[in-house]
Amino acid sequence: MKRAGLQRGVGVALWRQIADGIRQGIASGLADQDGRLPPENQLAERFGVNRHTVRAAISALAHEGVLQSEQGRGTYVRRQKRLVYPIGERTRFSAGLGGQARETRSEMTSHAREPASEPVASALGLQPGETLIRIENRGTADGMPVSRSTSWFSAERFPAIPEAYARTGSITEALIECGVEDYRRASTRVEARHADEVDTRELKLAPGAIILITHALNTDLDGQPIQYSMTRFAADRVELVVESSRSAATGDQTRPA
Amino acid sequence: MKRAGLQRGVGVALWRQIADGIRQGIASGLADQDGRLPPENQLAERFGVNRHTVRAAISALAHEGVLQSEQGRGTYVRRQKRLVYPIGERTRFSAGLGGQARETRSEMTSHAREPASEPVASALGLQPGETLIRIENRGTADGMPVSRSTSWFSAERFPAIPEAYARTGSITEALIECGVEDYRRASTRVEARHADEVDTRELKLAPGAIILITHALNTDLDGQPIQYSMTRFAADRVELVVESSRSAATGDQTRPA
DNA sequence: CCAAGTTGTATATTGATCTAGACAAGTAGA
DNA sequence: TCTACTTGTCTAGATCAATATACAACTTGG
């Protein structure tokens, strides 16, 4: 068996394509039960390249923390499954990942006041130029960065939200302190892009990695928009699950080949 | 202004990063009102590279159909906006893209009977090994391929569905003929990956392009699963919008910078 | 027509990527 | 211990990617 879908001369080095291939392959049983990868020679044959090219890929993944090579023994997998991030009416960060990691955290990295740009204002039902509070946030699971989000709130309605968020470590808690008992996700738009330099740094991504981007609008129970946020997820560590509200579906956690 | 987020020595050629950068930049006003790109020298300076490197990027995008260069005049943009594909309880292909393109089509490329794999069976609430009908499909908008989907149906319940689909050109119509008056989307899982060789060919993608993948389960009005499908979207031509069921949100079509 | 600005082509040089082959160094099992 | 298998290192050459420089070909506006 040769050439598992590699493309030459397209601006992406073979070793990088192979690295991506191995990373994906791990999810679908490339490694054996002990987490041991096939030997380099075998991988080289499977991908139809020289062993050194495979070594470059493995080296990149090792540097990235996915693999670990041991001379004479083999190459072993370190991390495994992607986290499942549910999107629905009651989407919340920590609750969503609950149980899938030993420890999930959501921490504010910075906040600022700024005038509303046109699209954000329109989403929040405000006038462009009205003052907003912008909160930058990073979500981690077991110490590994998972997402990076930017949220906007009306500065008039929620002047104290950065302080409350910093203190409680939870948007939900902070909103309660600001008088919002509960809220719901009104809409979510999903797109995918290559990670830029900042993403790569902040999310500890492999260069050329993919990010999933959600643009979300949260409203209070009266349907009044209160939070607009854009979240960037590391696509190789997270997948999004959209839940329709009326019923939890039967088999939606499974993944077909 | 220099270096708009390029990374060297990471296995992705600069010209490809620049091509991706230009493609994105087009969406946010890189070209002027006539669709004319800044001259190559200016782009080279902005990206902090040699003019030839920019030319390689432009050449790739031209080959891809996004740009068109004219000697002495400049380089012009051909395609523009991404289609918006709504995901909600009543997700249907043609209806979803309605109005955004002159002509949308959904055509069956092949179909077959096969035993149910474990995950598909579990999603559909069947036993692994039961016979399924698999339908491969391609969605196009104005002749440009947009999505590629694989759907599975119970062969026992819907023996005539390939024939009905081929005749009507619509899953919804075909299901009506098979006795399903209406159906709803129970769950959707979204992930993102690099396009593989087949995607690149079938969707006419640029090498290294991104695809959005949805795994969806449709049920009839009794909640009985009837269709499981996996759809691959060209991420640079489509974005997904998740609609919560109770209300259509106010500003969810807008896109913040 | 002319000048300025643009894309197209050519050549040369340097570094990154990929291949090829050989052997060293470590591990595990017979 | 010995052998088979694995990862690690080294050298050499071929091809791709990026830079640098120069000039040709074409378009537009004066």
In tens, the pLDDT along B120-157 reads: 999 999 999 999 999 999 998 877 789 999 999 999 99
**Closest residue of chain B to A84, computed from CA coordinates:** B189
Q: Is A173 left (phi over 0), alpha (psi -120 to 50) or beta?
A: alpha
Of residues B11, B82, B251, nearest to A123 (C-beta): B251
Whether B59 is in a domain gets the answer yes
Find all residues with CB under 8 Å of B121, minimum gap 6, and list them. B127, B128, B129, B130
**Closest residue of chain A to B118, computed from CA coordinates:** A256
Contact (Cβ atoms closer than 8 angstroms) between residue B187 and residue B211:
no
Distance of CA B51 to the CA centre of its chain: 32
Q: Is pLDDT above 90 for B51?
A: yes
User: How far is Cα A151 from Cα A136, in angstroms, rounded to an integer?
Assistant: 7
Query: Are residue A158 and residue A60 in the same domain, yes or no?
Result: no
Which of A:31-70 have CB within 8 Å of B?
60
Q: What is the pLDDT of residue A96?
A: 66
Cα–Cα–Cα angle for A175, A177, A183, nearest 5°? 30
| CB spacing of A256 vs B230 below 8 angstroms | yes
Q: Of A24, A52, A77, which residue is a domain's last?
A: A77
Q: In the structure, how far is the CA atom of residue A212 from the C1' atom of nucleotide D10, in angstroms?
A: 42
CATH number for the domain that contains residue B24: 1.10.10.10
Question: Cβ atoms within 10 A of the Cβ of B186, count?
Answer: 24
Query: Are residue A59 and residue A135 in the same domain, yes or no?
Result: no
Question: Cβ atoms within 10 A of the Cβ of A100, count?
Answer: 15
Q: What is the pLDDT of residue B150?
A: 95
- Which of the two residues, B224 and B143, has the higher pLDDT score? B224
- From first to last of the 257 residues of chain A, give the pLDDT tens digit: 334 567 777 788 899 989 888 888 887 778 887 888 999 999 999 999 999 999 999 998 888 778 888 999 989 988 666 788 888 877 777 666 666 776 778 889 999 999 999 999 999 999 999 999 999 999 988 777 899 999 999 999 999 999 999 998 888 989 999 999 899 899 899 999 888 778 888 887 766 678 999 999 999 999 899 999 999 999 878 889 886 544 333 333 333 32
| CB spacing of B244 vs A187 below 8 angstroms | yes
Largest CA distance in chain B: 65
Total domain count, chain B = 2
Q: In the structure, how far is the CA atom of residue B73 from the C1' atom of nucleotide C3, in angstroms?
A: 16
User: How far is Cα B160 from Cα B148, in angstroms, rounded to an integer?
Assistant: 22
Whose CA is closest to A200, among A212, A211, A214, A192? A211
| CB spacing of B187 vs A235 below 8 angstroms | no
Query: Are residue A224 and residue A102 in the same domain, yes or no?
Result: yes
Whether A26 is in a domain gets the answer yes
Q: Is pLDDT above 70 for B94?
A: no
DSSP letter string over B59-119? Answer: HHHHHHTSEEEETTTEEEE---PPEEEEESTT--HHHHHTTTSS-EEEEEEEEEEEEPPHH
**Bridging pattern class, strands A74-77 and A144-154:** unpaired
Judged by a CB distance cut-off of 8 A, whether residue A30 touches chain B is no
Q: What is the pLDDT of residue B233?
A: 95
Query: Are residue A177 and residue A107 in the same domain, yes or no?
Result: yes
Whether B255 is in a domain gets the answer no
| Averaged pLDDT, B175-199 | 88
Find all residues with CB under 8 Å of B6, minimum gap 6, and list them. A197, B14, B17, B18, B21, B47, B48, B49
Q: What is the pLDDT of residue B207?
A: 63
- Range of weakest confidence among A160-169, A206-215, B10-19, B178-187: A206-215
Contact (Cβ atoms closer than 8 angstroms) between residue B243 and residue B252:
yes
Q: Is pLDDT above 80 for B237?
A: yes
Whether A253 is in a domain gets the answer no
Query: Are residue B43 and residue B94 in the same domain, yes or no?
Result: no
> Tokens for A97?
């990942």
> Tokens for B110?
């092949």
Whether A90 is in a domain gets the answer yes
Give the residue ranges with Cβ < 7 A from strand C: A 13-16, 48-50, 52-53, 56, 70-73; B 9-11, 37, 39-42, 52, 55, 58, 69-75
User: How far is Cα A120 from Cα A127, in angstroms, rounded to an integer?
Assistant: 9
Q: Of A32, A56, A77, which residue is a domain's last?
A: A77
Query: Are residue B173 and residue B159 in the same domain, yes or no?
Result: yes
pLDDT class for B253, splitting at 50, 70, 90?
very low
Cα–Cα–Cα angle for A234, A8, A31, nearest 5°? 50
Q: Is pLDDT above 90 for B242?
A: no
Query: Are residue A230 and residue A179 in the same domain, yes or no?
Result: yes
Query: Are residue B67 and residue B173 in the same domain, yes or no?
Result: no
- The ipTM value here is 0.64
| Averaged pLDDT, B208-223 | 89
- Nucleotides on chain C within 7 angstroms of protein Cβ: 5-11, 16-21, 25-28
CATH number for the domain that contains residue A162: 3.40.1410.10
> Tokens for B133?
């009908």
Provide the domain limits for residue B64.
14-77
Query: Are residue B187 and residue B100 in the same domain, yes or no?
Result: yes
Q: What is the pLDDT of residue B251?
A: 30
Whether A255 is in a domain gets the answer no
Whose CA is closest to A81, among A63, A94, A99, A58? A99
Whose CA is closest to B142, among B68, B37, B65? B65
Q: What is the pLDDT of residue B249?
A: 31
**What is the torsional sign of CA B71, B74, B78, B79?**
positive
Q: Count contacts between A and B (CB, < 8 Å).
A: 220
Contact (Cβ atoms closer than 8 angstroms) between residue A210 and residue B192:
yes
Give the residue ranges with Cβ < 7 A from strand D: A 9-11, 37, 39-42, 52, 55, 58, 69-75; B 13-16, 48-53, 56, 70-73
Q: In the structure, how far is the CA atom of residue B101 from the C1' atom of nucleotide D27, in angstroms?
A: 34
Whether A123 is in a domain gets the answer yes
Of residues B123, B198, B256, nearest to A254 (C-beta): B123
State the best of B187, B198, B237, B255 to mutate against chain A, taking most chain A CBs within 10 Å.
B187
- Which of the two residues, A4 and B234, has the higher pLDDT score? B234
Q: What is the pLDDT of residue A130?
A: 93
Q: What is the pLDDT of residue A251?
A: 31
Whether B252 is in a domain gets the answer no
Query: Are residue B34 and residue B160 in the same domain, yes or no?
Result: no
Helix H or strand E segment including A146: strand A144-154
Query: Are residue A145 and residue A179 in the same domain, yes or no?
Result: yes
DSSP letter string over A66-131? Answer: SEEEETTTEEEE---PPEEEEESTT--HHHHHBTTBS-EEEEEEEEEEEEPPHHHHHHHT--TT-E
**DSSP one-letter code for B158:** -
Q: Of A48, A77, A106, which residue is a domain's last?
A: A77
| Averaged pLDDT, B202-228 | 88
Of residues B5, B207, B246, nearest to A7 (C-beta): B207
- Range of weakest confidence among A66-70, A188-192, B109-113, B218-222: A66-70
Question: Which residues in chain A are contacts of B252 at CB distance < 8 A?
Answer: 123, 186-187, 189, 215, 217
Q: What is the pLDDT of residue A255?
A: 31
Query: Are residue A104 and residue A55 in the same domain, yes or no?
Result: no
Question: Cβ atoms within 10 A of the Cβ of A201, count?
Answer: 11
Q: What is the pLDDT of residue A244?
A: 58
